[in-house]
Structure 1
Amino acid sequence: MLKRITITCVIWWLLVLNLAMQPVQAQSDVLDRILITVNGSPITESEIEQRSKFLIYLTSDGNQSSLTLDVARQRATDDAIVFRLLQQRANEIGIGLTLEEIDERIALEFESRNISEDVFLSDLSEHGFSIDVFRQTVSETLLRDKLVQQIVTPRILIRDEEIDRYISINQESFQPVDEFNLSVIVVSESLSMNFEQKQLLRQIVRDIEYEIDRGSDFYQVAIAASQFEGIQAGDLGWVRTGDLDPVLAQRITPSKVPQIIGPIVSGSNIFFARINDHQTTIGPELPFVKELHLARIVLQASNQAGSEVNAEQLENLRRTILNGGDFGEIAKVYSHDSSTKQQGGDMGWLPEDSIPFEYLRPLADLEIGDVSPVQQIENIVFIIQFRGIRDASQEQRKRSVVRNRLRNIKLRNEVSNWIDELRETAVIDYRSVF
């Protein structure tokens, strides 16, 4: 029998999200007591029982769960309340899920965990659970992720001073690292080769060395050599010093790039390397980051009625811009954003990962020069002009790494605070207990 620990690793991460399953259908309206209501939405005894059993299943190692029944019920009750709050909030702002999204997430889970779907579903069935239970668990996780992305993530502000402080404290993590762009010719002797084949390879090595010494083009030599069995040639791209063969790393002289080195013996291989280029990068692997050039016009009101008036006014301004009006001049006259008003709404070049989600969302369908439809966040309405895009500098890529680290640290606390806010404003009525 498949061990519990193997199966539960597929969905263990779901537990920490404090989410669980949708209410199950009561077998009897008489027997299925309503234990709690959350803003009028009932949580029944059968749902808590089902959630409790599933939590015990997930935390079982095959023989025993790390949760007692009482603890499982407490967690299941809390999970049910949180899910009601999330579901109600999603309905308020129009967030939903498609079957395709759910199926895609399930497929990714099985693929990433390298566990057969048939084996997993068989184990679920053996313990009294259906695929619908798992689908619902995944659905709740997806819904939570969408809500967090739209509501919580925009709250997280990472200031430049925080990034500077992090880099200052963690200087060792950002020490310069040499990278080299390489092309290689690799000659490999295999145990299956006979004496004549090995002799031929050794002669080819001498021929390659001769051609390189006389100044022949490395790429032409590589193409000719790669026609023979046991010889491979190609570009390796950018490789960090620490990932190079130690003998090769010792023989590279950055100031002499481009440089050809070889032959170098490494195990059963003999290789030649052409060092095409050299660059110095920052310690951690830096992601490729884009910078966007944006401008905005913002109108802010003190209440919803004022926002509706502003939205209509901003739509008229947008039409004026689309008909040839100057975005910058209109921003200087009408925008309420004091930080960009005098610059004609210009926000400058911004790393993509530092731009709030509500600004990125309307950019998805825009070309350079386009203006977004009117967007609204509470009592603020705005339009965005997409002015340009470029690759971020190495320094900005480094700061992007730090920004993401700090954002992930803050996100956990923000999610917890947000759920607490939902609880505080909800009407939760505990009607009965087990």
Structure 2
Amino acid sequence: MRKGILGLLSFLLVLGVLAGCSGEKSNADSKDGKVVIDFWTFWGSETRRPIIEKIVKDFNDSQDKIEVKHTFLPWGDIWTKNLASVAAGSPADVIVNDINSVAQRAENNQAEDLSKYLDDSFKENFYPHLWEMVLHDNKPYAVPFNTDTRLLFYNKEAFKEAGLDPEKPPQTWAELEEYAKKLDVKNGDKFERFGFYPLWGSTGAPAWMASADDGKGFIEDGELFINTPKKLDALNWLLDWQKHYGEKNVQAFKAEFGSEQANPFISGKVAMYIDVGTFYTQIRDYGKDMEFGVAKIPAYDENSKHWADGGGFVVEVPKGSKHPKEAVEFIKYLTGKDAQQYWGEKNYDNIANIEGAEAVAKSLDGQAKEVYELTVENLKVTNLYPVPLEYPDYQNRINPHIDKVFAGKMSPEEALERAEADVKKLKK
């Protein structure tokens, strides 16, 4: 009898615990009759956190069915914790994630298919090259939020010194070389100013190689374009720049780079420089009324486009979200014209919503407007390179070989041959 009573008490105790857990979950998932959704970002800086939290507040105040809770997680940690929470079955409802790897997460069942919540016309709100990045098997698994593109920034005062027209930046690689040599300032064997160095700034060898090859990345639709004649030509061209300046001079200059004030372009050490459009804010804040211009990145030759590469972030619903429908309602607001315009204006950032981006450009004036308008126009020739499902680790198979070229340990021909052979081994 005593055992029966104890058993009954134990059973009731378990029921109580479960009821308590259920109550806690219910309270976590609802507030004043509203569905509560958890929104994870890595925007915790003094600049960006107030902006995203203002957007969240505006959404919460705009309706009475959903309450968004913003959770900040540090860069890097956010994605590790996302994967862990998805595996545990307790993910966030909305998360900011990398645009280049959407298909990877969709394939690995780590993100929700959003097609059931979005109508066919929704994609018209976004730049086509960004919308393509969120598709897997022709279904959207995320929505584009922001992006970037690269421009050529050039020092107009240095142009005047060198006898160059400050209103006519170089248009081709050949002109870029010609201008750079005129802009070089040398004292004996040392350079006091570089006219241009293609591997400094927000760019790298893969971007130049793609530009030479009609915008094609290393892998397009599952086909390899690593060891191609144009990419070999580009790699040799890049190596020629290092030979022109000398590896010691390149490394000595690079060692001086540091804070915004020590940026080689802002400090006058480099006359032409490639960076994302938001680099304008560093010049504005630290350039002391620097006279500069912006242009599209010079084309491979007269018959080529002014290609640029870009990146960006998306908002998506992690697999297993308890409230995917409500999460998508918030995503629609977050990527709508008004929220996007607010983010773009306050952060001087390129946004994914076309109408919002055009509104930001109209709201600006002076050189801020000039630079932003060019970034918007440049998005038409900006390529993003998604991580291929067949070759997920391809960059780590290519980059070490390219690095060896500049270290003098491998010829460009051998580097591309070995890189392509190594990538082929990755195919599933």
Q: Give TM-score, length-normalised by structure 1.
A: 0.22
- Give the number of the structure whose alpha-carbon radius of gyration is greater: 1
Q: Which has the higher strand share?
A: 1
Considering Cα pairs closer than 8 Å and 6+ residues apart, tell me whether 1 or 2 has the greater RCO: 2
